[in-house]
Structure 1
Amino acid sequence: MDRQRLDKWVWHARIVRTRADAAALVSKGRVRINGARETSPGHGVKTGDVLTIALDTRVRVLKVIAFAERRGDAEVAHHLYEDLQPRPD
């Protein structure tokens, strides 16, 4: 698999609880792909894309490194992305 729907990837990566929440997040314009705002939940993401996701309390910057066929636990989800934000000390 070389591409995946944006809403599906956000859901598989466990950024939100449901796929409907992922679609709503994208539709509201709260997700950027490589700096460009995306409002289509069906837009494809590919390996290497950098997603900036504005959540209620914080912003996450994630680099897509893999895809999943099914939604797994948190450990599996963590292998789908690289967190590009520096950790506070």
Structure 2
Amino acid sequence: MADRSADQTMRLDRFLWFARIVKTRPFAQALAEQGHMRIDGRPIDRAAAPVRIGNILTFVTHRGEVRTIRIEVLPIRRGPPSEAQRCYQDLQAGSDPTS
């Protein structure tokens, strides 16, 4: 993982793939271009939309579930799952250990 500052950005499709939220980069591009994804509440319809640390991503999974995550780290590679999971925090009810 990289220690990138909050002013740096990454393409949305790269983040989704590097953080292992999707299995392939073409699937990440399709997800972004379908218009069913939001960054900080704004609808997104392009894979090249920039994301940065602190952004909130909301989207529908292939199972029809709404998923909301906060970007914690911008990864520099598609690493192992344990590394990828540290790149974001799930914000769904029930995923927070304090709830």
Same fold per TM (> 0.5)? yes
Q: Secondary structure at the match of 1:51?
A: strand
The amino acid of 2:73's aligned partner reads A
Percent identity reads 35
The alignment's C-alpha RMSD in Å is 1.5
Instruction: Give the distance between the partners of 1:46 and 1:61, measured in 2 at CA.
Output: 15
Q: Secondary structure at the match of 1:23?
A: helix
Deviation at 1:17, TM superposition (A): 0.5
Q: What corresponds to 2:46 in structure 1?
A: 40
Q: 2:84 aligns with which of 68, 77, 89?
A: 77
Deviation at 1:30, TM superposition (A): 2.0
The amino acid of 1:84's aligned partner reads L
TM-score under structure 1 normalisation? Answer: 0.92
What are the ranges of 5 or more consecutive residues in structure 2 without an aligned counterpart?
none
Instruction: Give the distance between the partners of 1:65 and 1:19, measured in 2 at CA.
Output: 20
The amino acid of 1:40's aligned partner reads R
TM-score under structure 2 normalisation? Answer: 0.84
What are the ranges of 5 or more consecutive residues in structure 1 without an aligned counterpart?
none
Deviation at 1:29, TM superposition (A): 1.0
Can you list the C-alpha shifts for 1:28-78, whole angstroms capped at 9, x where unaligned?
012100111101100110111000021121111000110111101111111
How many residues were matched structurally?
A: 89
